[in-house]
Structure 1
């Protein structure tokens, strides 16, 4: 798994790079697509034209790599939901905390910068 870092900027360049990845994840809002994805994840990735790196990140559920490869949290969360992962779980992954630690940090006012 890729090491967590402080931020991920989804600018125009990253958005273009992640277009196929975000389309795939966005397609998972439909039940039929979730079924097709679950039946053959690799073929589903190929059908959306993911790069080899994006495909590897999806198949290995390397959430941080997905963001680094242009994925948007709003789309990758659809894939996480398919795996019964919460937003708090992903928040923990992206910040290097457990889901419980991340939840506690948010409840106590979030991360303090300064």
Structure 2
């Protein structure tokens, strides 16, 4: 029986729920492998060969190779795991987040200091009993 997911219509948002977790299991396991220096070196030496050791989909592998964070999230990646890729590349979390918004790191920082982007989503009206 599928669960009711009232959050699926939030524009521009992918919620990391149980379904996304299952979808991205191997992608996230790959990311966690990058916590070990020897795995980071193997990955940097031949990214494709290292990715091919994991039971990831081709879509997930291509998203990693192109460093498309939004595509990785859509493919089941969890941002906290995906941060390991950024760290391997010498990027800060702020640089990664900026890349996801299409903004420079400086523009992203300024936007966040100013309070973030305005929400374009409004919750649906609740039915009154």
TM norm structure 2: 0.78
Partner of 1:42: 48
Q: CA RMSD in A?
A: 1.5
Q: CA deviation at 1:44?
A: 1.1
Question: CA separation in 1, counterparts of 2:43 and 2:112?
Answer: 33
Q: Which has the higher contact order (CA 8 A, sep 6+)?
A: 1
Query: Mapping of 1:18-37 within 5 angstroms?
Result: 18-37=24-43
Q: How does 1:48-87 map to 2 (within 5 A)?
A: 48-87=54-93
Runs of 4+ in 1 over 4 A off after TM superposition: none
Gaps of 5+ in 2: 1-10, 121-129
Give me the whole-angstrom Cα distance separating, in 2, the residues matched to 1:14 and 1:86. Answer: 24
In the aligned structure 2, how far is the partner of 1:84 from the partner of 1:10?
Answer: 25
Counterpart of 1:89 in structure 2 is 95
Rg: which structure is higher?
2
Specify every segment of 5 or more residues in structure 1 that has no aligned partner in the other structure, as ranges.
Answer: none
Aligned residues: 110
